[in-house]
Amino acid sequence: MTSCYHVIRRRAGDLFLIAGPCVIESERHTLKMARALAKISTQLDVPFIFKASYDKANRSSGRSFRGVGLEEGLRILQRVKDEVGLAVLADVHETNQVAAVAEVVDVIQIPAFLCRQTDLLQAAASSGRPVNVKKGQFLAPWEVGNLIEKIEAAGGRELLITERGTSFGYNNLVVDMRAFPIMRGFGYPVVFDATHSLQLPGGLGDATDGQAEYVEHLARAAVACGIDGLFMEVHDNPPQALSDATTQFALEKLEPLLETLLKIHQLAQPGVKAEH
């Protein structure tokens, strides 16, 4: 197995987790969440990568909280790596961010709205870091092949594809479960973003609304469909979150959900029969 999967694919067939708060709200909060998530993933023996954004450049309103910025955000993520011992993921929005981000993070993420930006994809691929591409809300699953070709053309061979819902009319997303086997057919691990998939983009006028009450339902369905990994934004107090408050999953609910998902994942493996 290549170095891209030294954490998330340490054993063939493992269900891995990418999770953390939507945005870095403060140094103290980020470290608190990293330690809490590390404890849960260790207890359940789930391969885990911590995620948090230093900047949310695509907020609905220019008045919304964006984050702590590139320099401060990377400093905090480096503390997560050094003090908590976790691999970390963060997204990039411009090609000139890639070099600095690649110095710290273990996986570079391409936001869904930017997934067709050829220069950004290829800069991330050329960094030598694994790349997680969020499938745009405007793409069919088979169009992911074009994104993969761009990354491979820049030498990228360490790649994750993340499903996060498809636009369905105004202010709504749906998840087509057929997308998972279609995208797995390209030969790279497929991840399900269980929280962003339940957004209602722009549903509050100047902010995104969401339906977090369905996170557990869609997560169970996606794992049953054979995904490789789960992406979730998790917060210890979602209503008070500074970004994506309506879809972040409550920290206190994560461990029991993962216990259920691991059982479903085991049953979904080829050749496994349920006990009667």
Domain ranges of the chain: 3-268
The string of pLDDT tens digits covering residues 207-243 is 778 799 999 999 999 999 999 999 999 999 999 999 8
Residue 67: per-residue pLDDT: 78
Task: Give dist(CA 243, CA 241) in Å, integer.
Answer: 6
Q: Residue 172: which pLDDT band, with cuts at 50, 70 and 90?
A: very high
- The model's pTM: 0.93
| pLDDT value, residue 201 | 80
pLDDT digits (tens, 9 = 90+) for 74-119: 999 999 999 999 999 999 999 999 999 999 999 999 999 999 999 9
Burial label for 174, CB within 10 Å (0-12, 13-18, 19+), is: exposed
The per-residue pLDDT for range 235-267, each reduced to its tens digit, is: 999 999 998 889 999 999 999 999 999 999 999
Cα separation of 141 and 137, whole Å? Answer: 10
**Alpha-carbon gap, residue 274 to 276, rounded angstroms:** 6
Please give, one letter per residue, the 3-state secondary structure of 239-252. Answer: HHCCCCCCCCEEHH
For the chain, give percent helix, strand, coil, nearest 5.
Answer: 40, 20, 40
Q: How many CB atoms lie within 10 A of CB 113?
A: 14
Lowest mean pLDDT across 2-11, 141-150, 237-246, 249-258: 2-11
In the 8-state DSSP scheme, what is residue 135?
P
Supply 73's token pair: 């955000």
Whether the predicted pLDDT of 64 surpasses 70:
no
**How many CA atoms within 13 Å lie on the side-chain side of 142?**
0
The model's confidence at residue 2, banded by pLDDT at 50, 70 and 90, is very low
Residue corresponding to tokens 């170095």: 3
Non-local CB neighbours of 226 within 8 Å, separated by 6+ positions: 180, 181, 184, 268
Domain 3-268 CATH superfamily = Aldolase class I (3.20.20.70)
Backbone angles phi, psi at 76, to 5 degrees: -70, -40
CB atoms within 10 A of CB 79: 15
Q: Sign of the CA dihedral 22, 86, 267, 189?
A: positive
The pLDDT of residue 5 is 54
Q: Determine what percent of the chain is predicted with pLDDT higher than 90.
A: 81
Q: Which residue has the higher pLDDT, 210 or 163?
A: 163
C-beta of residue 104 within 8 angstroms of C-beta of residue 129: no
Question: In the predicted model, what is the mean pLDDT of residues 36-40?
Answer: 98
